[in-house]
C-alpha cells in the first residue's frame, strides 16, 4: 500500500506552521491537500506574541491588547514614557492564535491535523516525506519548523550565537497596580551580571498583567521574577493565572531556507528570529505571504526575499553588542 500523499506538509504546527496554513487556505492554493503534524496539542497559552504594527495584519481580530505608548525604566528607577507615533504595539495570546487558526482549518475537508512526533524529514527528489512515529507521509512540499535549541550549535569562531531566555507570569493582583495604557518594555532594575537582562510588563487591566523576564543565560528565572514582582514592583498579593517561557536563538548564523529540493525551513528554523530583538512574528507573517507568492508565480516556494543589507548590518552590530554584553 502506498504512503498517504499530500500536496503540502507542515512539519510543526506552532506559530510558523499555523501561520503558513492560514495563508495557504486564504490564497488561490486553498484547495491543496495539507497535512499539519505537531507533537503537542496546542491548547495552552504557552507564548504571548507581541509586535509593532503600522499596518493591519490578518490576525487583528484576535489582538488581545494594543498600546500606543510605553515606559522604559532605568536601573535607578527613572521612568521615561515614549509615544509610538504611527505604530501600535499589539499583543496576541498564543492560545487565541492557535484556536483561531485551528478552528478555521478544522472546517476544511482538505486539511488534516495530526498529533505525533516527526522522526525525520526526507528529501526524495520529486517529492519529500516525513516519518511520524514510524509512519511515512509524502508531500509535494514539506515546510519544516521543527527547531531544537539544544541541537543548535553553530561554529562560534564564525558566528555569534546567544540564547534569549524568557520566563513570564500572568498575574492578577488584589489591588490596582498597573496603568492599562502603558506597558513597560524595558525595566532594567535588575543586576546585569555581565549580560543584558530586563523585565517587561504588558498591563491588561489595573489588576491583570503579564510580567516577563528576559536574560541571556540559564538562570533561576522564576525566583528572580517573583522577587522582582514582590521587592522591586512592590506587588505582594497576587495570584498566578498562567506561566510561559522558552528560549530563542539570537545569532547571525545564516539559517538555511532550502533544506532539499522539496523541503523549506520556516519559523525559527528558517531564521525568522531577528537577532537584534528576538521578535519573529511579523517576519513569519511576511515570510508566509512571500512563500505563497513564490508558489503561485514559480511553482516553488523558494523565491522569498532575504534581509536587506541594512538590516543584516544592524543585526550583525546588535549581535556583536548583545554578545559583548554577555561576555562582560
Ligand atoms: C516565551 C516566548 C515569547 C516570545 N514572544 C515573542 C513576541 O512577543 N513577539 C515575537 O515576534 N516573537 C516572540 N517569540 C519568538 C517567536 O515568535 C516564537 O518562538 C514562535 O513560536 C516561533 O515560531 P515557530 O513556529 O518557529 O516555533 P514554534 O511556535 O515553537 O513551533 C514549532 C512547533 O514544532 C513542534 N515540534 C517540535 N518538534 C517536533 C517533532 N519532532 N514532531 C512534531 N512536532 C514538533 C512544537 O510542538 C511546536 O508546536 C517568543 C518566543 C518565546 C519562547
Q: How far apart are CA 312 and CA 302, in angstroms?
A: 20
Q: How far apart are CA 189 and CA 72, in angstroms?
A: 10
**Closest Cα to atom 53 of ligand 1:** 246
Q: What is the pLDDT averaged over residues 136-148?
A: 98
Q: Tell me the DSSP string of 197-234.
A: -EEEEEEEETTEEEEEEEESS---HHHHHHHIIIIIS-
Q: Domain-by-domain residue ranges, the chain? A: 5-65+89-154+252-327, 161-249
Name the band, by pLDDT with cuts 50, 70 and 90, for residue 328: very low
Q: What is the pLDDT averaged over residues 105-109?
A: 98
CA distances 156 to 152, 159, 160, 253, 307, Å, are: 11, 5, 6, 9, 22
Q: Residue 282: enclosing H or E segment and its boundaries? A: helix 281-298
**Closest Cα to atom 39 of ligand 1:** 146
Task: Kindly state if the Cβ of 245 falls inside 6 Å of ligand 1.
Answer: yes
95 Cβ neighbours under 8 A, 6+ residues apart: 42, 43, 44, 45, 46
- What pLDDT is attached to residue 310? 72
Confidence check: pLDDT of 170 > 90: yes
Task: Kindly state if the Cβ of 12 falls inside 6 Å of ligand 1.
Answer: yes
Q: How far apart are CA 265 and CA 272, in angstroms?
A: 10
Asked whether 59 and 97 are in contact (CB, 8 A), the reply is yes
Give per-residue pLDDT as tens, 273-282.
Answer: 999 889 999 9
Task: Kindly state if the Cβ of 39 falls inside 6 Å of ligand 1.
Answer: yes
Sign of CA dihedral 187, 190, 191, 196: negative
- What pLDDT is attached to residue 219? 78
- What pLDDT is attached to residue 224? 94
Of the options 3.30.70, 1.10.1390, 3.90.660, 3.40.1350, the CATH number for the domain spanning 161-249: 3.30.70
Give per-residue pLDDT as tens, 202-216.
Answer: 999 999 999 999 999
Helices (H) and strands (E) in the chain, counts: 5, 18
Task: Kindly state if the Cβ of 9 falls inside 6 Å of ligand 1.
Answer: no
Q: How far apart are CA 70 and CA 93, in angstroms?
A: 19
Task: Kindly state if the Cβ of 41 falls inside 6 Å of ligand 1.
Answer: no
Task: Kindly state if the Cβ of 35 falls inside 6 Å of ligand 1.
Answer: no
Substitution candidate for ligand 1 out of 11, 13, 47 with most atoms within 8 A of CB:
47
Q: 5-65+89-154+252-327 maps to which CATH number? A: 3.50.50.60
Return the higher-pLDDT residue of 127 and 318. Answer: 127
Average of per-residue pLDDT values in the chain: 93
Q: What is the pLDDT averaged over residues 287-315?
A: 89
Q: How far apart are CA 147 and CA 249, in angstroms?
A: 10
Q: Half-sphere exposure of residue 93, counting CA atoms within 13 Å on the CB side?
A: 16
Q: How far apart are CA 268 and CA 280, in angstroms?
A: 8
- What pLDDT is attached to residue 323? 54
Q: How far apart are CA 197 and CA 71, in angstroms?
A: 16
Substitution candidate for ligand 1 out of 11, 35, 38 with most atoms within 8 A of CB:
38
- What pLDDT is attached to residue 239? 98
User: 55: buried, middle or exposed (CB in 10 Å: 19+, 13-18, 0-12)?
Assistant: exposed
Name the band, by pLDDT with cuts 50, 70 and 90, for residue 254: very high
Q: What is the pLDDT averaged over residues 274-298?
A: 96
Q: What is the pLDDT averaged over residues 123-134?
A: 96
Q: What is the pLDDT averaged over residues 129-146?
A: 98
Confidence check: pLDDT of 327 > 60: no
Tell how far the Cα of 45 is from the centroid of ligand 1, in angstroms.
Answer: 12
Classify 107 as helix, strand or coil: coil
**Closest Cα to atom 28 of ligand 1:** 14
Asked whether 135 and 9 are in contact (CB, 8 A), the reply is no
Q: What pTM, to 2 d.p., does this model score?
A: 0.95
Name the band, by pLDDT with cuts 50, 70 and 90, for residue 322: low
Confidence check: pLDDT of 289 > 50: yes
Amino acid at each position: 500500500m502506498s504512503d498517504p500523499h499530500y500536496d503540502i506538509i507542515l512539519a510543526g504546527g506552532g506559530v510558523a506552521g499555523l501561520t503558513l496554513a492560514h495563508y495557504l487556505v486564504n490564497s488561490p492554493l486553498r484547495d491543496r491537500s495539507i497535512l499539519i503534524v505537531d507533537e503537542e496539542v496546542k491548547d495552552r497559552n504557552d507564548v504571548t506574541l507581541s509586535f509593532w504594527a503600522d499596518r493591519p495584519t490578518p490576525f487583528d481580530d484576535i489582538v488581545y491588547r494594543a498600546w500606543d505608548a510605553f515606559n522604559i525604566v532605568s536601573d535607578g528607577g527613572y521612568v521615561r514614557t515614549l509615544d509610538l507615533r504611527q505604530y501600535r504595539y499589539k499583543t496576541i495570546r498564543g492560545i487565541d492564535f492557535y484556536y483561531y487558526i485551528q478552528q478555521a482549518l478544522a472546517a476544511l475537508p482538505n486539511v488534516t491535523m495530526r498529533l505525533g512526533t516527526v522522526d525525520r524529514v526526507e528529501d526524495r527528489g520529486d517529492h519529500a516525506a516525513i516519518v511520524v512515529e514510524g509512519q511515512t507521509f509524502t508531500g509535494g512540499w514539506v515546510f519544516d519548523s521543527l527547531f531544537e535549541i539544544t541541537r543548535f550549535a553553530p561554529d562560534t569562531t564564525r558566528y555569534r550565537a546567544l540564547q534569549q531566555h524568557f520566563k513570564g507570569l500572568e498575574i492578577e493582583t488584589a489591588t490596582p497596580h498597573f496603568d492599562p495604557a502603558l506597558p513597560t518594555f524595558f525595566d532594567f532594575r535588575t543586576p546585569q551580571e555581565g549580560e543584558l537582562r530586563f523585565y517587561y510588563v504588558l498591563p491588561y487591566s489595573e489588576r491583570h498583567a503579564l510580567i516577563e523576564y528576559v536574560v541571556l543565560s540559564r538562570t533561576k528565572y522564576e525566583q528572580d521574577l517573583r522577587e522582582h514582582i514582590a521587592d522591586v514592583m512592590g506587588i505582594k498579593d497576587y495570584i498566578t493565572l498562567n506561566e510561559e517561557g522558552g528560549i530563542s536563538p539570537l545569532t547571525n548564523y545564516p539559517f538555511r531556507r532550502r533544506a532539499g529540493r522539496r523541503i523549506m525551513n520556516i519559523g525559527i528554523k528558517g531564521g525568522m528570529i531577528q537577532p537584534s530583538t528576538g521578535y519573529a512574528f511579523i517576519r513569519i507573517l511576511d515570510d508566509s505571504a512571500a512563500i505563497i507568492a513564490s508558489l503561485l508565480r514559480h511553482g516553488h516556494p523558494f523565491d522569498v526575499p532575504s534581509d536587506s543589507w541594512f538590516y543584516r548590518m544592524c543585526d550583525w552590530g546588535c549581535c556583536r553588542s548583545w554578545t559583548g554584553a554577555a561576555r562582560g
